[in-house]
Amino acid sequence: MIIDTNTIVTATEANQNFSKVAKLAEKKGHVVVFKNNRPKLLVIDLDTEPQIEMSEDEKFDFVTARILREHKAAFEELAK
């Protein structure tokens, strides 16, 4: 996903002023919320972007990251 710098807000800003984030998402189609200088959340306007399109590689990365996160202890034990 290519991130437009005009659609980036910090987690602090999103927490303190969600109505601004919602209005920006309505105007631009989506907003990317950064936490610790990394993209963390995606706020989308379902009227303009009804579905999230991901490449096969992005889907694979998403699923593997979730599996690794959920089973981290087991993988660490296997790595010994």
Pairing of strands 30-35, 8-10: parallel
The pLDDT score that the predictor gives to residue 1 is 65
19-67: pLDDT as tens digits: 999 999 999 988 999 999 999 999 988 777 766 677 788 878 878 888 8
Mean local confidence (pLDDT), 69-75: 90
The pLDDT score that the predictor gives to residue 65 is 86
Examine the pLDDT at 2 and tell me if it is beyond 70: yes
